């Protein structure tokens, strides 16, 4: 007769990812069965995941208390199929002193408020989880060197709105080119915008927008994203690079996603989550109904569209197209409609 370990006092309210809810396998050798009962981890401590490196997680315990400390942890085997990412809140057991050479264990992933994802391309439905629990996204783009990519920013916006994350925009290197033509593409959006020169970064304004928030920072390689993070967080030492004069592309520098505390000088702080630079941002995981949310100026007009309207060039009686053709939205509206239609057409099967 097979024997199963007894799960006494099982708590049905534990998170789905709690290792204590997994039953022990039968003893295959017929030896004396194990008598050790898996702990329910009621005394597990909740920590913030700051970074991930080759199967080891740097987590922060007792945040904002005198006992705050960083601890290195491994993932419990029962969680091996569940990705743990920067920004996650996790339950940790074991040696949580943080002393050199110690290793704690992550046994549960706490419920997430948001999850930012991307896919390899628009036809790939396999999602890549980037960060968890961010409530803001700071999109960094250069006014020149490399040239700003409106379509990539559109994709960031779609991913942000789909995840329920509030986007912001920072245009760097404005001493090299006037950012106005690029920003005109987003004139209809309720989008906070910061502009920065290479020798003059508005740190106070940006830091003030980041305190009390968890902000994921995204951008094309070479736009100055890591330079901005290093300025906001002295000692961050995020790797920076240069733009190839021939190709106009930035070199990948930061290779990992990491959370860093940013302060505004008044004692308040927030968290910035710096991500590696990317040249593409697939949206294969996004529901097409969410795309219009990135274009809030057009979404309001779309309420007058007929049911099932695709908003594509051949869509009959599309209220957005009519508004643009009648000149009610100006040139910025035409550019916004073009971006919307390009994204929508990407998902046409």
Higher pLDDT, residue 18 or 128: 128
Residue 222 pLDDT > 90: no
List the alpha helices (DSSP H) in 134-255: 150-163, 180-183, 203-210, 225-232
Residue 327, token pair as written in the block: 């000149």
Backbone torsion region of residue 87, taken as left when φ is above 0, otherwise alpha when ψ lies between -120 and 50, otherwise beta = left
Convert the pLDDT of each residue in 274-315 to its tens digit.
988 666 677 777 777 788 888 888 999 999 999 999 999 999
- Residue 224 CB coordination number (10 Å): 24
pLDDT per residue as tens digits for the range 193-213: 999 998 899 999 999 999 999
Q: Which residue has the tokens 């860093």?
A: 260
pLDDT for 145-169, tens place per residue? 999 998 889 888 888 888 899 999 9
Confidence of residue 7 (pLDDT cuts 50, 70, 90): very low
pTM of the model: 0.78
d(CA 65, CA 10): 32
pLDDT tens digits, 107-142: 999 999 999 988 766 666 667 888 999 999 999 999
Q: Whose CA is closest to 156, among 112, 234, 216, 209?
A: 216
């Amino acid at each position: 007769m097979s024997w199963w370990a007894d799960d006494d006092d099982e708590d049905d309210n534990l998170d789905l990812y709690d290792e204590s809810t997994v039953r022990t396998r039968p003893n295959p050798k017929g030896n004396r069965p194990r008598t050790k009962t898996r702990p329910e981890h009621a005394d597990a401590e909740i920590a913030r995941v700051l970074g991930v490196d080759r199967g080891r997680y740097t987590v922060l315990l007792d945040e904002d208390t005198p006992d705050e400390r960083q601890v290195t942890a491994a993932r419990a085997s029962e969680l091996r199929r569940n990705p743990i990412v920067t920004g996650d809140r996790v339950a940790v057991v074991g040696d949580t002193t943080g002393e050199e050479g110690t290793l704690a264990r992550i046994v549960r992933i706490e419920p997430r408020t948001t999850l930012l994802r991307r896919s390899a391309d628009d036809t790939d439905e396999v999602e890549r989880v980037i960060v968890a629990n961010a409530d803001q996204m700071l999109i960094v783009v250069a006014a020149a060197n490399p040239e700003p990519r409106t379509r990539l920013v559109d994709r960031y916006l779609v991913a942000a709105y789909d995840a329920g994350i509030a986007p912001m925009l920072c245009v760097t290197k404005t001493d090299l080119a006037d950012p106005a033509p690029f920003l005109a593409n987003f004139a209809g959006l309720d989008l906070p915008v910061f502009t920065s020169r290479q020798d003059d970064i508005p740190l106070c304004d940006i830091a003030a927008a980041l305190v009390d928030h968890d902000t994921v920072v995204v951008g094309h390689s070479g736009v100055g994203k890591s330079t901005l993070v290093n300025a906001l967080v002295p000692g961050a030492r995020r790797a920076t690079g240069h733009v190839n004069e021939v190709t106009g592309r930035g070199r990948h520098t930061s290779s990992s996603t990491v959370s860093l505390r940013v302060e505004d000088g008044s004692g308040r702080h927030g968290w910035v989550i710096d991500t590696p630079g990317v040249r593409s941002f697939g949206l294969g995981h996004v529901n097409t109904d969410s795309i219009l949310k990135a274009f809030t100026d057009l979404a309001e007009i779309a309420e007058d569209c007929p049911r099932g309207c695709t908003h594509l060039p051949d869509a009959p009686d599309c209220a957005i197209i009519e508004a643009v053709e009648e000149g009610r939205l100006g040139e910025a509206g035409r550019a916004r409609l073009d971006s919307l239609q390009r994204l929508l057409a990407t998902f046409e099967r």
